[in-house]
Amino acid sequence: MKKDRPYPKLYINCKAERSVKAGHPWIYGEEIVNCDAELKPGTIVDVMSGNSWQGSGFYNPNSKITVRLISRNGNDVFDYGFWKRRIAYSIKYRKTVMPGDDFKCCRLVHGEADQLPGLTVDRYGDILSCEIACYGMELVKEWIYRALLEVLETEGESISGIYERNELALRSKEGLPLYKGWYQCPGRSCPDSAVTEIVENGIRYSVDVENGQKTGFFLDQKYNRKAAARIAKGKTVLDCFTHTGSFGLNCALAGASHVTSVDISQTAIDMAMANAVKNGLEDRMDFVCRDVFEMLTQMSEGRNAEYDYIILDPPAFTKSRQTVDSAGRGYKEINLKAMKLLPRGGYLATCSCSHFMTDELFCKAIRAAALDAGVSLRQIEARQQAPDHPILWNVPETDYLKFYIFQIV
């Protein structure tokens, strides 16, 4: 490491040092012992434990996560070249794990998992949808966006525009404004529409990067949808919490005899119906706007065996450690209702998208549901998020999606 560095020093306690040495990139406010000066949000600091340099990161006193590490290499200089190398590395990884057409519709940057803290970049054809949840990253976003365009163009990929979805509540905690809209790329005009079309697993979708969920679409279940569809041929499928209809559409395309897609949101149902029509699958699908818990309760009480395949893709039941217990009860309850509804030999696909609901806790809820339902579960597959949402083993927060397929025996 160079001895003379232009970055102010910030000193951490032993607990933070152990965490950093174990590979975790976050330092919390209570772990900071001292710093050289009054620092502005977004300042790059050198993190020290005594006289030992631990890394460099973005500082923000407004955030509970006060430092987000960006480098552990003491020779790094945080200029445009540094950020372009990070972007190039992220894109090269996606070209490997999301080959062919999958690269046209995938997550290009997954925050800390790509050593780009607080940055999410999703690609939908020729549009990039970006979300920034870190003050320091906001300060270098012009470099980030320029690098994205340059690296993709070098790969022969044409991008027409960058849409910013900076509405995340976390931005307020970072001291950042909430907004959304097209980023004005130098020398480029913005696209006329925020609605584009993607193809995933052979299915066409309209994606609204302005108003759609998250950055426009849930990309992390891409290969789980394909896995669910592999056993759908000839089945009568109940697709719960359908949103855009993606699980149901994959099953219908794979040869399911019929698919019923359910969601409490009429907007979601309308979108799912439109996607079915777009793909010529409306004849083997129907759509119900209803509360899934209520519907499953009514059906299970009547022992209605109309469906032999149920898919549960609910929103996160918990977003904090404080509500994990109640979330566990929720996952148990909904899986219990599905198990009671399915006949022997039927199939269940179920998932959780919360980091706080660990795999161990989720499996505990499913086992409890099976016990109460009086059934045994034959596991067909255990899966996680698609590889464009990579998991770092030393950063457990990057591991969030649990997906299982079972047969009821």
Which residues is 312 bridged to in the sheet? 240, 350
311 vs 334: CA distance, rounded Å: 11
Query: Count of CB atoms within 10 A of residue 105's CB?
Result: 23
In what side-by-side order are the strands of the sheet with 309-312?
285-289, 258-263, 236-240, 309-312, 347-352, 402-408, 377-383
220 vs 406: CA distance, rounded Å: 20
Out of 105, 106, 240, 353, the active site residue is: 353
Active site residue 353: yes
108 vs 135: CA distance, rounded Å: 20
One-character DSSP codes across 118-156: TEEEEEETTEEEEEE--HHHHHTHHHHHHHHHHHHHHTT
Nearest to 347 by CA among 276, 265, 404: 404
Q: How far is CA 35 from CA 50, 67, 298, in A?
A: 12, 12, 60
Q: How far is CA 164 from CA 104, 244, 282, 324, in A?
A: 19, 21, 33, 32
289 vs 249: CA distance, rounded Å: 17
409 vs 406: CA distance, rounded Å: 9
Which residues is 405 bridged to in the sheet? 349, 381
Give the residue numbers annotated as catalytic, written as ranges. Answer: 353
